Amino acid sequence: MVNTLYLPELREMLAEHDDAGLEEFCTALHPARTADFMEGLSPAESWEVLSHADVASRTEIFSYFPREKQVEMLETLDREEMGQLIGELPPDERVDMLEQLDEKVVSELMPLVPSEERSEILLLQAYPENSAGSVMTTKVVSLSENITKQQALEEVREWGDQSETVNYLFLVDDAKHLRGVVSFRKLVFARNEQRLSELMERDVISVRATEDREEAARLLGRYDLLAIPVVDDQNHLVGLITHDDVLDVLREEATEDAHMAGAVQPLEESYLETALLTLTGKRAMWLTILFFSGLLTTTAMSHYEEFIETLPWLICFIPLVISCGGNSGNQSATLIITALTTGDVTMKDWFRVIRRELIMGLLLGGLLAFFGLFAVIGVGFLLPDTWHILATTIVPVTLILVVTCGTLTGSMLPLMFRKFKLDPALMSNPFVAVIMDILGIVIYMSVAQIAFKMLTKTAT
Amino acid sequence: MVNTLYLPELREMLAEHDDAGLEEFCTALHPARTADFMEGLSPAESWEVLSHADVASRTEIFSYFPREKQVEMLETLDREEMGQLIGELPPDERVDMLEQLDEKVVSELMPLVPSEERSEILLLQAYPENSAGSVMTTKVVSLSENITKQQALEEVREWGDQSETVNYLFLVDDAKHLRGVVSFRKLVFARNEQRLSELMERDVISVRATEDREEAARLLGRYDLLAIPVVDDQNHLVGLITHDDVLDVLREEATEDAHMAGAVQPLEESYLETALLTLTGKRAMWLTILFFSGLLTTTAMSHYEEFIETLPWLICFIPLVISCGGNSGNQSATLIITALTTGDVTMKDWFRVIRRELIMGLLLGGLLAFFGLFAVIGVGFLLPDTWHILATTIVPVTLILVVTCGTLTGSMLPLMFRKFKLDPALMSNPFVAVIMDILGIVIYMSVAQIAFKMLTKTAT
């Protein structure tokens, strides 16, 4: 709400060409706050405000705008100026942005981007999607391991804002191989004539550019790093992934996992930005797969149709029975998928997992069976007396079996996915639901048939 | 695998009392790697290895052990030594650890923790769960805004490893109010006689200790910070939340959200560490709630039992129809929950969301209706001719209605939860499933009854 309060003042400053006021506006606050305050300005107005900032602040404020606004500005404002701006943006961010621009606009903008930056864009775009290389920045500055502290400090001062992080200084040999790392703090407090090779840690945690970006996130988290250097296959330093890139990766991965668990193909853009037909397509694929798997329930049901006509009240409990199986299966799948993601459970724990899930399935099934007994008695008053006793056995026994099947299926499916090198999050939950629908029907009907046979036998 | 290779060597060094070798082992690598290599050593062996490290390295290596191992060591080894160790651990980590120890052990250990650290533990434990205060470290060192660069640098050197981060230096007035921040880098390159008050940024992003830890994570992410200062209600600097704490918060929150979506009450420990009965209890609660809500399907079904006896083939499609509604509802709920979490959708977008979901529901429902038509014809060959035409209308029409109801329910429920200040992740998915089970049955049966009436009318 605060943000819009400042809009009229900003507009007034623009109308009055209050250059001094606008200049102060662009520098007084954290660039992210400045960006927030500019919410509601049109692309053209925003650009006019930004023209009062120096290059560094302008780029920073721009990179804090919502992605939607950035895209709108790049697409609608003067091509020449936008080409320049793209050249000034951090390498990893501009690649992200270009992916979301209209292709025609990109082809018009690219020739206007300074040539050095243009080749860097092409370089980053060449890395496979979701690789460490695709999220790294190439703005990493390295020092020779043979210089002294004094020389190093001079170099760092000269970089200015060139490097995204100066907390770690990466040291390379003459052929640019990554050799070590020294913290800026350690450098500052070293003696002036000390060589970096004496100060550096040789055990550098790094990640290959072609590895999965999740691996980079994992390493950074495990080793509590502020940034992790990215190397090529020959251990040449090619880039850097900083902690804020990792935050973005983690957020995206969490959203992707949630989408997959909900049977939606992960979106590339946000919900409201994704075109309606694209979104429909991403949902249609899995709905169709689930529909055709669900047809098996129809086959199963038609198989038992005749038997159900003998005991029509059975159908009353069909939705309840299959939803209990689905719920318990879903719980197990969720628990195991999250535990696999965080590393709390690994493949070697499979036996412990089965044992735990078996016990929990029996306990939870027993509990629901107990409730089910009362439910059946409640409905049972409507049934002829003979069936009464029968019904009180069928539903509870079914519930124990279905819930236990649910916990076992739900826990084993993600482990199997992992075993076959598939992402366990990939559709495990909806698959578990489909499997439990079918198993639920088959178990319920089998239990009923057995009970029915036993009863007719004792009756004769 | 690599890890176990080194175990025999480590054990040999221990057996031979190779002090020099063990000392080197404790210092040569990143402490996290050292911790990894010690996987498989018993608590006593691990402690013997650690006794060869200086205090700082020992604490660091210990804090990279898996939580299970830490707890085992603290519970089984010499109380006196463990009390000391707890005193040396980072304040936020030790509070976490103490929560997982046996209460009896804690009561024995606490008197052995140095008194200053003990009162710090009590201080942190007093903050509400999931607040910024509960995850912060109190090891934040502040400088007076009135000293010069030269003096500040001297102080930073003296702190040594006292402060968790030296990238930001927080400046306070005489009454300890947070006044500004200066980056270590800026300090290093300032002139010796410059006062910190001239160098500092006054627009400090900070978080209140009583605010939600998620807010701290959001701010750190939004402003690309390495650490965020924590203040009390009077703006006194009381602690610091660093980027690695935020990574942990994000991971935990993502897991919690996933658990809630899967109808499991979030766990406090990992899957394998949680006691079996605790875990069963956390699942039982929601399974029971879902069971009793599911009983409504039984009521609905018994209401239509008689009608179904007229058209027994209808039951074949019951599981399919309700699963289609559940699936489309789940997709929408997942999309909206994740979009609300990331902030891509806010309450003010509700109308756009309804419109999008309505269109998608009709499109997806239409698609499934098309497939459903063929499915019915497939099963339909078994039916008498008159019903044939009837069936081909009932199921497709039902599918369109059910899928559209699913998208609308799935998208509106999380928005309603948010409206009533409830966590949208809270059980939305399982609730959507239950609601769609009931709605599915009611819609299916109503469509069938209407079609049946129309047909009998035209027949007479």
* Edge-first strand listing for the sheet containing B142-144: B142-144, B168-172, B178-183
Planar angle of CA B151, B154, B155, nearest 5 degrees: 90
B430/A327 touch (CB, cutoff 8 Å), yes or no: yes
A185/B184 touch (CB, cutoff 8 Å), yes or no: yes
pLDDT the model gives residue B228: 92
* CB within 8 Å of chain B, chain A residues 334-353: 334-339, 341-342, 344-345, 349, 352
Q: Return the residue of B nearest to A411 by Cα.
A: B271
* CB within 8 Å of chain A, chain B residues 296-325: 297-298, 301-302, 305, 308-309, 312-313, 315-320, 322-324
Only one residue has tokens 């970089």, namely: A159
Give the amino acid at B356. Answer: R
| Helix-strand-coil split of chain B, %, nearest 5 | 70, 10, 25
- Rounded to an integer, the average pLDDT of B422-435 is 79
Judge whether residue B88 has pLDDT over 70. Answer: yes
B288/A367 touch (CB, cutoff 8 Å), yes or no: yes
Q: Is A450's Cβ below 8 Å from some Cβ in B?
A: no
Residues of B in contact with A288 (CB under 8 A): 367-368, 371
ipTM value greater than 0.85: no
**Residue A370 corresponds to which tokens in the numbers above?**
């107990």
Is residue B218 within 8 A of residue B205, CB to CB? The reply is no
Q: Return the residue of B nearest to A190 by Cα.
A: B157
Q: Return the residue of B nearest to A380 by Cα.
A: B302
Q: Is B333's Cβ below 8 Å from some Cβ in A?
A: yes
Q: Is B390's Cβ below 8 Å from some Cβ in A?
A: no
**Residue A238 corresponds to which tokens in the numbers above?**
């090619």
Only one residue has tokens 């397509």, namely: A281
Alpha-carbon span B208 to B239, nearest angstrom: 10
Of B172, B207, B453, give the one whose Cα is nearest residue B307. B453
Between these two residues, A40 and B380, which has the higher pLDDT value? A40
How many Cβ atoms from other residues are within 10 Å of residue A256's Cβ? 18
**Ranges under pLDDT 70 in chain A:** 1-5, 160-166, 379-388, 426-427, 459-460
Q: Is A205's Cβ below 8 Å from some Cβ in B?
A: yes
pLDDT the model gives residue B162: 59
pLDDT the model gives residue B2: 41
B429/A279 touch (CB, cutoff 8 Å), yes or no: no
- What are the structural domains of chain B? 2-130 (1.25.60.10), 142-248 (3.10.580.10), 276-459 (1.10.357.20)
pLDDT per residue as tens digits for the range A295-307:
888 888 888 988 8
Helix (H) or strand (E) holding A298: helix A276-310
- C-alpha distances (whole Å) from A378 to each of A324, A387, B291, B299 are 19, 13, 15, 10
Judge whether residue B396 has pLDDT over 50. Answer: yes
CB-closest option in B203, B295, B364 to A283: B364
Q: Is B330's Cβ below 8 Å from some Cβ in A?
A: yes
pLDDT the model gives residue A316: 87
pLDDT per residue as tens digits for the range B215-271:
999 899 888 888 899 999 999 999 999 888 888 888 888 888 888 888 888 887 788
**Per DSSP, what are the bridge partners of residue B95?**
none
Q: Is B328's Cβ below 8 Å from some Cβ in A?
A: yes
Alpha-carbon span A399 to A397, nearest angstrom: 5
Residues in chain A: 460
Q: Which of B70-79, B209-218, B382-391 is the least confident region?
A: B382-391
Of A139, A132, A99, A341, give the one whose Cα is nearest residue A249. A132
CA distance B443 to chain A (A): 14
Band of pLDDT at residue B140, cut at 50, 70 and 90: confident
Q: Is B30's Cβ below 8 Å from some Cβ in A?
A: yes
Give the amino acid at B231. Answer: V
pLDDT the model gives residue B1: 34
pLDDT the model gives residue A4: 53
pLDDT per residue as tens digits for the range B299-340:
888 889 888 888 888 888 899 999 999 999 999 998 998 888
